[in-house]
Structure 1
Amino acid sequence: MDSLKEGDSRSSNLGESMSKKRKGGVSGVEETLDRVSQLPDALLVQILSLLPTKDAVASCVLSKRWCYLWYSIYNFLFINSDYRTENFIYFVDHVLTHCTSSNIKKFQLNFDYMTRWNFDLETIRWISFAVERKVEDVILCSDDEELTYKLPLSMGTCSSLITLNLSRWVFDKRLAIAWNSLKSLKLDLISLDDDDIVNLLSGCPAMETLELFFFRGFRRLEITSSNLKRLTLAGHWRPDFENDTSLEIMAPYLQHLEISGNLYNLMCRLVNVSSLVNAKLTFNITCIKSIQSGEYDNDVEEATCGDYHQVLRTLVQDYLHKLSYATELSIGTCFREVLCASQFEGVPWVLIPDLKCKYLTLELHIGNFNLHGLAGLLRASPNAETLNIDIAITLFGSPCRFESKYLGKVDNANIERRISSFPFPNLKIVKIGISVEMCLKYNFAWQFKKLFELSKFLLKIATVLEKFIITSERRKCRRCSMNCESRLLSQLTEKLLRCARSSANPVFIFQE
């Protein structure tokens, strides 16, 4: 085939390997090939459709039986880094020209960032072909920051589309979207204005899942469809530090919400999320001190920094009120830092609502500052039955002036005194896990003390505790050449076995 002669030699690895083995007289390989070849064509096409497209095409050299089977495949994966540019264009054109499938299941284009070639004309041709063949799942990715691609106008009328995943692709303003069958939409590194969002949502009436990664541009997200149940917002892309950076979310039928990653100074405000069942809020917001002055410049007035944190405090309190009826919550460090500061500012507990959640997950960086924020969240979660604590140990920059005010106070505060009078009659399972990329043998003494303090405290407040689970990754540390994480957590488990507890017979489990 011409495509195998002119394409990159890697495209024929499968065929060359099998051909060499057959010429060498390897009877076992021949026997296996014969058995596979006896399968019906439909099953062989199904197998080939699961392979990378270059390997599916290369199968034509196996035997006459296989020569034309790849014509019928219905999944296509094209990666330009597998070929020189001219050969890549030739290969894709050749494959699509010989495609006999009337229904394409999956169509994927990946453009490597090393390629300085604009495939605009080619992508219009290729994507339009997939649309004509009633494609269901489309993935279009570009790693090049300098080149962006527009969806062809023909894509807007693709009524067969079920899932769409775009990375660094943009929407043409002339694109009229009518994706009536679309269930899932994932957009990565993309800029959308409010009109784009309205156009998207109105053109996808059946959409159930919307995921936006490293997004920017829009200020209002109003979801009126009762079908859209799951929303993910992860990371703010190229933030605008000068203008208003608030985002209002109105989604009365939404059941699952995730807001994560670094939002910089973007304030996501939940206007209406009354149907939420599951919420994951592990985002980080950058202090105004870092935004305006650089991380190590202390010339910003303390009052300005304090005002900014007051906005954060109000935002967090509003989140807790809006999410108070969710049954499953995952909360990041930003919440606990704000709650910790609120406690020392004298904010009444009545302003922090009781959470109804039964499954509570907390992301935690071990330290007094966060432990006291954790105490506030536990006090607000008397209905929790399962508590998961995911611990990460990272290096932080210097705290801002507002945060520094509380570090000294926290060092001398008693965590137990703050909530020891509040029973936790429903907490049955506690699970603690550590995710680190550092040596714990030499760098964890202080954190180990805090982790033990936290674990011992949980044993005291959980009156019906059934299981206390500590999990560790089995890995060999590069620095100490030991499994230091497992050894340390195993020691923690042994120490906890000797501690007082409120429940009768909790089971301690150490898992690797």
Structure 2
Amino acid sequence: MGEYIELGEGEEREVGEGDEVRDGESGEVEGMKELGEEDDFTAENEVREGEEFVQENEESVSLENDRETMSSMSVPSSNKQVKYMSIDRLSALPDALLICILSFLSTKKAARASILSKRWQHLWTNLPKLRFKEKSCELEKILKTVNRIHGALGIRRESYLERLYIDFHYYESFALDVDSWVEYVVKHKVKDVTLELNPQGVLYKLPQSMYSSSCFTYLSLRGCNLVPQRNVDWKYLTVLSLNDVKLDEHVIEKILSGCPVMHFLILCQCWGLSCLKIDSPCVSELVLIDREDGESEPLLEISAPHVQTLSISICPINKWRLTNISSVTHAAISLIGSDDWDADDYEVMSNLEDLVGALLHVKYLLFSHMCIEVLSMLVEMHDVQLPESRREILHVHASADANVMSGIVALLESSPMLQELAISGIDLDGPPITWDVVGRSEMHGNLVHLKTVNIMDFVAVPALTGEPLLTLVQILLDKATVLEKLEIHIEYPVSLFKTFPQIFIEISQKLLSYPRSSRKAVVLLS
């Protein structure tokens, strides 16, 4: 909860409580899931703490046991309370219960428990979820990680393994090692599998046995060569993520036909496709992330008639054509690979304009800050007016500079049914910026349905004197005829800790001076 100043029209300012601004869609399309819930497992510094430290602490553990024994022997048998305290009650519990307790910890912390005694040494390897991650590219460190994975799976008992997460820099020399892990996964019917094989040259060829393992419910593959020779049988799979994978229409068709209940599909930096056709009525969420290698790809046509939530991250030197996405209600667009293109390039602007035009029917739209900058260039340089849309919720990530105003105003003008607007500021620690009143500072038409506006994490910098926040708020207060609440959360760099109160007061005074077309409008500043 934060402190708010309610700025009433013609009234004294009062300080009251108010809820913090809530990011309505978490900065992403609603329904997008974060992959890998646990902490990263860095094998070099983590599993070693659990296994190798056992040997280092063997003497201290032995000494402690001797102390306990001597203490127990020296206490008279009648003193039951002291004798009772000398017993390790936790270690006396059954393995199944101890494993259950460890399962509430991350793999890293569970492995550290192995230093307690030999009783605990290998318990962590029987956890229902195991996660191994090696960030280093050094072969020596990677080899140690590979050996630890072999060790953990090799000494594992027949206890159920629900999730296996493996992430390391893959070299072709480790192909047989990964083959053995895949064999373990298939044999023991592991449901949740992640193979993040960051390829250092050659892709890993996925064994044919993997395609016929029907136990998967979640599967994430990176750096793998997918060549199914027979039908794919992933009948229980609900989430599939493919990253850095070469695909063609034949392969993706086999995969989709073999996943009858899959509802979430992620294709990240895949290549080889010219047509992506997703006809499955179950696939409701689709994430597409373009490659960032700077190489131009051929036109990609996308047809997904049943998808409801769509997230697109595209390098705008490539062209994607959305041909059949009539069911999409929530969409997010972001531009990536900014080192390979310029915002004022006409082809870049034209490609973005086509994407925006294909999403006029969606109810919720999220724009990245680079999208807004390119859109602003399009409006200013070519005097483009965006077609009318049916969007009801608009979420924009925007930097605090003049380049974003024209794009935001153009989106507002093309959203006559807009009910909610959220603008998230970015880059608190970015380079110094200045405000010049360029681009559009006026808006045509009214926003007759807009009731709620959230402006989050706006960066208050003295050189900007409250801009572009003030200009935008002035437009909204004037054009939103039924506005009920405009909530502003201001951030400031640490260097402005002493001067921020004065900046805050100046912004508050300017907001008080702006006329409001809605009598119900309340402005909350925090």
| TM-score normalised per structure 1 | 0.75
In structure 2, the partner of 1:269 is 321
In structure 2, the partner of 1:78 is 132
TM-aligned CA distance change 1:247 to 1:84, over 3 Å: closer
In structure 2, the partner of 1:331 is 367
Write out aligned runs for 1:29-44 (5 A): 34=88, 36-37=90-91, 41-44=95-98
Number of residue pairs aligned between Structure 1 and Structure 2: 456
* 1:424 alignment partner, one of 444, 447, 451: 447
Q: Distance in 1 between matches of 2:477 and 2:87?
A: 61
Q: Distance in 1 between matches of 2:132 and 2:265?
A: 25
In structure 2, the partner of 1:257 is 310
The answer as to whether partners of 2:54 and 2:114 remain within 8 angstroms in 1 is no
In structure 1, the partner of 2:10 is none
Q: Distance in 1 between matches of 2:357 and 2:448?
A: 22
Q: How far off is 1:171 after superposition? A: 2.0
The AA in structure 1 aligned to 2:516 is R
Q: Relative CO higher for 1 or 2, CA cutoff 8 Å, sep ≥ 6?
A: 2
Return 5+ residue gaps in structure 1 as ranges: 1-6, 297-301, 397-407
Write out aligned runs for 1:160-179 (5 A): 160-172=215-227, 174=229, 176-179=231-234
TM-aligned CA distance change 1:392 to 1:157, over 3 Å: same
Q: CA RMSD in A?
A: 4.0
- Percent sequence identity is 27
Q: How far off is 1:465 after superposition? A: 1.6
TM-aligned CA distance change 1:343 to 1:9, over 3 Å: closer
Q: Does 1:94 align with 2:94?
A: no
Q: How far off is 1:344 after superposition? A: 6.2
Q: Distance in 1 between matches of 2:298 and 2:392?
A: 33
Residues 180-238 of structure 1: CA deviation (Å, up to 9, x unaligned): 11111122333323333223222222211112223333121110001101111223243
Q: Distance in 2 between matches of 1:234 and 1:359?
A: 23
* 1:357 alignment partner, one of 369, 386, 391: 391
Give the structure with the larger helix fraction: 1
Q: How far off is 1:94 after superposition? A: 3.1
The answer as to whether partners of 2:304 and 2:325 remain within 8 angstroms in 1 is yes
In structure 2, the partner of 1:48 is 102
Q: How far off is 1:508 after superposition? A: 2.5
SS of equivalent residue, structure 1 residue 452: helix
* 2:485 alignment partner, one of 455, 461, 467: 467
The answer as to whether partners of 2:211 and 2:234 remain within 8 angstroms in 1 is yes
Q: How far off is 1:33 after superposition? A: 9.6
* 1:433 alignment partner, one of 456, 459, 472: 456
SS of equivalent residue, structure 2 residue 280: coil
In structure 1, the partner of 2:405 is 371
In structure 1, the partner of 2:277 is 222
Q: Distance in 1 between matches of 2:416 and 2:54?
A: 59
Write out aligned runs for 1:150-169 (5 A): 150-169=205-224
In structure 2, the partner of 1:507 is 522
| TM-score normalised per structure 2 | 0.73
Return 5+ residue gaps in structure 2 as ranges: 1-46, 72-83
The answer as to whether partners of 1:80 and 1:112 remain within 8 angstroms in 2 is yes
Q: Does 1:11 align with 2:48?
A: no
TM-aligned CA distance change 1:81 to 1:212, over 3 Å: closer
Q: Distance in 1 between matches of 2:468 and 2:112?
A: 58
TM-aligned CA distance change 1:339 to 1:472, over 3 Å: closer
Q: Does 1:341 align with 2:378?
A: yes
The AA in structure 2 aligned to 1:145 is Q
SS of equivalent residue, structure 1 residue 215: coil
The answer as to whether partners of 1:230 and 1:256 remain within 8 angstroms in 2 is yes
